[in-house]
Amino acid sequence: MTDSAAPADSARAARSGLSLAATVLTGVLALYIALVALGNITDFGTNQQYVRHVLAMDTTFKDDHLMWRAITSTALQDTAYVAIIAWETVAAAVLVWGTWLWARRDHARARRFSTYGLLMLILLFGAGFIAIGGEWFAMWQSKTWNGVDAATRVFLLSGVALIINHLPARDER
């Protein structure tokens, strides 16, 4: 190997390493959210109870200053749950497509679609479960229905995947 070949090999290795990392992280999150959506569809009742209890705030400290926020209508609770499942399903499809594009080395489109899907997860788990569920509906107060830690893990992994997806390869700098 000559000295002039070394930088090209190094750039190719960095590019393929970053592309591989982006592919794997996007694929892992695609698989995860697809399994979550499938589980929510095939075992509708389990997480339906989760959403109902979080929105009803019936397992929180029941502070009078917070309880006005509770949503006790099962129709509204179930509508929220179906919307969550639909969001998860679309996010899974977008992330699967992004993973496929990474595997095909269509980097620009892969980055764009992966970004859409990862932002969907960040919105769902960050804004939806951590901010709205955790804080607005005081989910953190529930010993039984507290999903803040689980949501935080997915939120952070999605953020890491988003960063990896946007790191420039040496030939893109």
Cα 125 vs. chain centroid, distance in angstroms?
6
25 inside domain = no
> What is the pLDDT averaged over residues 104-123?
98
Quote the CA–CA distance of 56 and 69 in Å, as a whole number. 8
167 inside domain = yes
SS3 content of the chain, % helix, strand, coil (to 5): 80, 0, 20
| Residues 143 and 8 sit within 8 Å (Cβ to Cβ) | no
For the beta carbon of residue 73, count every other beta carbon within 10 angstroms. 12
**pLDDT for the residue 67:** 98
156 inside domain = yes
> What is the pLDDT averaged over residues 145-172?
93
Give the DSSP per-residue string, 99-151. Answer: HHHHHTT-HHHHHHHHHHHHHHHHIIIIIIIIIIIIIIT-GGG-SSS--HHHH
pTM of this structure: 0.89
Give the domain range for residue 59.
35-172
Q: How many domains does the chain have?
A: 1
93 inside domain = yes
| Residues 94 and 122 sit within 8 Å (Cβ to Cβ) | no
**pLDDT for the residue 149:** 98
Quote the CA–CA distance of 100 and 110 in Å, as a whole number. 8
Rounded to a whole number of angstroms, the CA Rg of the chain reads 20
9 inside domain = no
Closest CA to 27 of 103, 119, 88, 86: 103
Query: Residue 76 above 70 pLDDT?
Result: yes
**pLDDT for the residue 9:** 56
Query: Residue 6 above 60 pLDDT?
Result: no
Q: Report DSSP state, residue 2.
A: -
110 inside domain = yes
**pLDDT for the residue 92:** 99
